[in-house]
Amino acid sequence: MLSASFAILFYAATAILVVGVAMKVVRYARVPAPLKIPTTPAPVTRAGVILRMFREVVFFESLYRSNKWIWLFGWTFHMGLWLVLIRHIRYFTYDVWWWVALAQPWGTYAGFAMLAGLLGLWARRFLVERIRYISNPSDHLMLALLVAIAGSGLMMRFVARPDIMSVKAFMLGLLRFRIEDLPAQPILLVHLGLVAVLMIVFPISKLLHAPGVFFSPSRNQIDNPRERRHLAPWAARLEG
Amino acid sequence: MADGDDLPRMDFPLDIPCLKAGAMEGLHPFLAAPEHQAKLGFPGELLPDWKERALEKMAELAERNRAFQVYLDACVKCGACTDKCHYFLGTGDPKNMPVARQDLLRSVYRRYFTFAGKYFPKLVGARDLTEDVLHEWYSYYHQCSECRRCSVFCPYGIDTAEITMAAREIMDSVGMGQKYSNEIIGKVKDIGNNLGLNPKALRATLEDLEEDLEDETGISVRLPLDEKGADIMLITPSADFFAEPHIDGLLGYAKVFHEAGVSWTLSSYASEAANFGLFIGSYENMREIALRIRKAAQDLGVKRIVFGECGHAWRVAYSFLNTLAGPFDFLDQKYPIPQHILEFTWGEIQKGTLRFDKSKNDHIRLTFHDSCNVARASRMGDEPGGQFEIPRNVIRAVCNNYFDMDRDTTHESTLCCGGGGGLLTDDLMELRKKGASPRMAALQQVSEDHGVTHMAAICAICKTQFSKVMPAFGYEMDSVLSVHQLVSSAIVLTGQETGDDEEGADPRGETA
């Protein structure tokens, strides 16, 4: 009963995440940018734009220039998150891939880094007057959700270890449309339940910044308006 | 509302003010009259069904403009932009923080167009569109100069200018336009320039200037108008025809063209570089104004288009002209289309065509204000960042004493003059002064450190704004200069009697 509920929850969450984000991405891709609006100085070649975007999503270049504290906490959280996600791949493959094994020792510390980053960001929402002003309840809830996920994850690593082989069997089963037994350990269930919630809210929340950044015209456009004419389909129709 | 006497004397580096909620609340520039609105294709006054229309417009913008859609969705409220707006720094009003300004519209977008906002409005800060909200939009979307400084620092490149333009377009579409911008756009459509200067008056002005130039230099330097078959058509802000220091810049262009030996002309039909269609976010109006330039170029049969010193005009020219009014296959493809006057002048300096007596500018200790639209929304030359280097190269070629302001306030981090984006109107004077205070703080710093006396600019709005507000900060109103005014002062025309020709005058182009 418990295993079946969680199986359904994860199938539903995955479907909502994939379909929801896909719909948004299709929309972002379909809606034209009628004018050339890269924030200049901007790259003048496609390769340059790819490099700019790479620096933006890997190093958070603009944020670094803007505010060192937000950068420190934000970057620490996101990089920690990547390592933790990579570490979790082992629960979805029968044989553990070599590069996932490589991330294993780092993934643990990354969990702490992630938590530290989140708490730093959350503290700023209370302590910095300007950021307190712009915060909505959802901004606090999102941080609470992520802190709870990271916290419950670390608890399972260091305090109350679940039967991890059963968890892996359950996940591998889901991938093959079979429902295996999920250990009924409270912390595990909380962890998994919150992850499912995160997946569900992804397409209807500010987490859309993740796909959104790639579609931001001020960052992804090439600075070449004099060389190449840029024309949106609806604008072309004005020319009749 | 504050009375304008509480101008913040900011220290440098810039302090971040404490929040003063409501400090600029209720600021309300004059509404456009029905006849101004009609010329632009907008309803004359607020429609009874304004709310439905506004939401329809919002839906339309989400379909037409990717930036609008992505920027409304992507913000995570990280706070990186909160201390970047000069209006926030100058007023302390929290709604002048870029993210908070966006949220005025984002909250409504969320309420009507997102799942979370429809079902959990309190949770995500969504709110109904009411008449109060509309008036709040009108107030705070006319406290943004669309300078894009926030977009430099946003991790997603969210550009508040795009949101401000969208908000103004929505308000225009329901009959709530701003008088200053919309009246001026009407004038361009009727007469060809922002001033409403008719061709006869323009011709008379130019003839007077030609006489002045001949008196000054002893050389006949022409300011041709509507000359068919000229190689170059110069499009320049109409302020260059009458205002100080703009007009001295125009004389500089004329001298450079004269020395370069090119044939050029102004157009009375397209006697305006400015395009306020940008400020109100109206693609259609911006396009209509831009098409005047295309028509003038075709009618006059010119081969090249060169733009004079103007910030947002250069954005529209450099970034949008090809889109709005292209393709320009009838022009000479060997030259950039369009070209900036500074690109032209710098090219001539490199060729060695121009001779300068730099000592003519020795009474000036100069700094340079990067205009926001040139810095963050355009380029000059072939390399990214040419918009910073080329003006400085030209300045250094004509002026001995040059000092940059603090790097956090120049180049792509430049602070807006406080009067851009359709705010250069007397009914917003208090905001303009407060918005200028961060730039003034940076200027005061170089004045103290290096004895800087003057600041050069390459934008008609910056020049007008600074000459108006600088006296409030202890500078003379003529402390702001056109870059081509400096060129004009230093240039030695061929055959010109210089008076003090033993010293100073550099030999012509030996290094080129």
Instruction: Please answer yes or no on whether A234 and B64 come within 8 Å at the CB atom.
Output: yes
Give per-residue pLDDT as tens, A20-33. Answer: 999 999 999 999 99
Contact at CB, A133 and B151, closer than 8 angstroms: no
DSSP H or E run through B482: strand B480-482
B125 contacts: CB under 8 Å, gap ≥ 6: A136, A137, A138, B103, B107, B110
Query: Which residues of A are less than 8 Å from B115 in CB distance?
Result: 204
Q: How far apart are CA B67 and CA A135, in angstroms?
A: 23
Of B73, B97, B377, the CB nearest to A134: B97
Nearest CA in chain B to A26: B66
pLDDT tens column, B66-112: 999 999 999 999 999 999 999 999 999 999 999 999 999 999 999 99
Check which CATH number belongs to the domain holding A159 and give it.
1.20.950.20
Residue A189: which H helix or E strand, with range? helix A186-201
Taking only the tens place, the pLDDT of each residue in B425-454 is 999 999 999 999 999 999 999 999 999 999
Q: Return the C-alpha torsion angle A23, A26, A29, A33, nearest 10.
A: -50
> Which residues in chain A have Cβ-Cβ distances shorter than 8 Å to B155?
56, 60, 62-63, 66, 74, 213
Nearest to A35 among B70, B124, B323 (CB): B323
Residue of B19, B60, B61, B73 for testing the chain A interface, max A β-carbons within 10 Å: B73
- Rounded to whole angstroms, the Cα distance separating B442 from A140 reads 37
pLDDT above 70 for B3: no
Domain of residue A163: give its range.
2-235
Inter-chain CB proximity B73 and A206 less than 8 Å: yes
d(CA B97, CA A129): 12
ipTM, two decimals, is: 0.95
- For residue B6, is pLDDT > 80? no
Alpha-carbon distance B16 to nearest alpha carbon in chain A (angstroms): 10
Per the CB < 8 Å rule, is A226 touching B114?
no
Chain A residues closer than 8 Å to B76 by CB: 139, 206, 209
State the smallest CA–CA distance between residue A115 and chain B in angstroms: 17
Q: Mean pLDDT of all residues in chain A?
A: 96
Residue B318 and residue A225: Cβ atoms within 8 Å?
yes
CB-based contact A215 B81, cutoff 8 Å: no
Does any CB of chain A come closer than 8 Å to the CB of residue B190? no
Residues of A in Cβ contact (< 8 Å) with B162: 37
Chain A residues near residue B336 by CB distance under 8 angstroms:
226
Q: Nearest residue of B to residue A40 by CA position?
A: B376
Give the C-alpha separation, B53 to B59, whole Å.
Answer: 10
How many whole angstroms separate alpha carbon B355 and alpha carbon B128?
Answer: 64
B282 touches chain A (CB under 8 A): no
Cβ separation B66–A31 shorter than 8 A: yes
- Residue B259 main-chain phi, psi, to 5 deg: -70, -30
For B9, counting Cβ atoms within 10 Å of its Cβ (0-12 exposed, 13-18 middle, 19+ buried), the class is exposed
B481-497 pLDDT, tens digit each: 999 999 999 999 999 87
Which of A62, A217, A229 is opposite residue B323, by nearest beta carbon?
A: A229
Judge whether A240 lies within some domain: no
* Start and end residues for every CATH 1.10.1060 domain found in chain B: 34-177
Per residue in A92-138, pLDDT (tens digit) is 999 999 999 998 888 889 999 999 999 999 999 999 999 999 999 99
- Give the closest of A56, A124, A235 to B283, CB-based: A235
pLDDT tens per residue, range B108-123: 999 999 999 999 999 9
User: In this complex, which of A40, A129, A205 lies closest to B384 when CB atoms are compared?
Assistant: A40
Residues B459-473: tens digit of each pLDDT: 999 999 999 999 999
Angle at the Cα of A218 from the Cα atoms of B281 and A64, rounded to 5 degrees: 130
User: How many independent structural domains does chain A possess?
Assistant: 1
CA angle A234, A216, B417 (to 5 degrees): 95
A158-198 per-position pLDDT tens digit: 999 999 999 999 999 999 999 999 999 999 999 999 999 99
| Predicted local distance difference test score (pLDDT) of residue A106 | 87
Query: Is residue B160's pLDDT more than 90?
Result: yes
Q: Is residue A120 part of a domain?
A: yes
Global pTM value: 0.95
pLDDT of residue B5: 53
Retrieve residue A176's tokens.
């093959």
Q: What is the pLDDT of residue B507?
A: 44
Are A226 and B338 a contacting pair at CB < 8 A? yes
The closest alpha carbon to B70, from B104, B106, B124, B117, belongs to: B106
Q: Nearest C-alpha of chain B: how many angstroms from A144?
A: 14
Per residue in A33-55, pLDDT (tens digit) is 999 999 999 999 999 999 999 99
Nearest CB neighbour to A133, from listed B100, B162, B378 = B100
Reduce the secondary structure of B251-284 to three states and give it as a string. Answer: HHHHHHHHHHCCCEEECCCCCCCCCCCCCCCCHH
Residues contacting B60, CB < 8 A, separation 6+: none
Burial string for B391-426 (b: 16+ CB within 10 Å, else e) reads: bbbbbebbbebbebbbeebbbbbbbbbbbbbbbbbe
Closest-CA distance of chain B to residue A70, Å? 7
Residue A41 with chain B: CB contacts under 8 Å: 379, 384-385, 387-388, 412
Contact criterion met (CB below 8 Å) for B273 and B307 = yes
Whether pLDDT at B4 is above 70: no
Q: Does A217 contact B66 at a Cβ distance shorter than 8 Å?
A: yes
> Which residues, in sequence order, are bridge partners of residue A233?
none
Min Cα distance B403 → chain A (Å) is 22
pLDDT of residue B63: 96
Instruction: Say if the Cβ atoms of B100 and A134 lie within 8 Å.
Output: yes
For B304-322, the pLDDT digits (tens) are 999 999 999 999 999 999 9
Among B60, B66, B122, which would you mutate to test the A interface (most chain A Cβ atoms within 10 Å of its Cβ)? B66
Write out pLDDT tens, residues B234-253.
999 999 999 999 999 999 99
Which chain A residue is nearest to residue B84, measuring alpha carbons? A66
Determine whether the interchain pair A134/B336 forms a contact, defined as Cβ–Cβ distance below 8 Å: no
Q: What is the DSSP string of B298-351?
A: HHHT-SEEEE-S-HHHHHIIIIIHHHHH---TTS-TTS-SSEEHHHHHHHHHHH
Between CA B358 and CA B368, with CA B362 as vertex, the angle to 5 degrees is: 85
Judge contact between B185 and B277, C-beta under 8 A.
yes
Tell me the nearest-neighbour CA distance from B117 into chain A, angstroms. 9
Instruction: Verify whether the Cβ–Cβ distance A62 to B74 is below 8 Å.
Output: no
pLDDT at residue number B10:
75
Question: Number of CB pairs < 8 Å for A and B?
Answer: 207
Each residue's pLDDT tens digit, B262-291: 999 999 999 999 999 999 999 999 999 999
Interface of B with A in 3-42 (CB under 8 A): 16, 18-19
Mean pLDDT of chain B: 94
Of A33, A63, A130, the CB nearest to B155: A63
CB interface of B with A, residues 69-88, below 8 Å: 69-71, 73-84
Q: What is the H or E stretch that residue B59 is in?
A: helix B50-64
CA contacts within 13 A on the Cβ side of B69: 24
Sequence letter at residue B156:
Y
Spell out which residues of chain B touch residue A124, defining contact as CB-CB under 8 Å. Answer: 79
pLDDT tens-place string over residues B123-153: 999 999 999 999 999 999 999 999 999 999 9
Contact B293/A at CB under 8 A = no
CA distances from B374 to A1, A178, B204, B320, B416 (A): 64, 61, 31, 13, 11
| Chain A residues whose beta carbon lies within 8 Å of the beta carbon of residue B158 | 216, 218
- Please state which of the four CATH numbers 1.10.1060, 3.40.50, 3.30.70, 2.60.120 is assigned to the domain occupying B34-177: 1.10.1060
pLDDT value at residue B8: 63
> Distance between CA atoms of B407 and B442, rounded to whole angstroms?
10
Report d(CA B311, CA B371) in Å as an integer: 6
> Inter-chain contact B80–A63, Cβ cutoff 8 Å?
yes
Lowest mean pLDDT among A57-66, A68-77, B3-12, B180-189: B3-12
Please judge whether A32 and B156 are an interchain contact, meaning their C-beta atoms are less than 8 angstroms apart. Answer: no
Out of A70, A215, A235, closest to residue B78 by CB: A70
pLDDT at B499: 59
Residue of B180, B106, B93, B111 lying closest to B137 (CA atoms): B106
- What whole-number percentage of chain B has pLDDT above 70? 95
CA distance, residue B316 to nearest chain A CA (Å): 10
Looking at the domain assignment, is residue A142 inside a domain?
A: yes
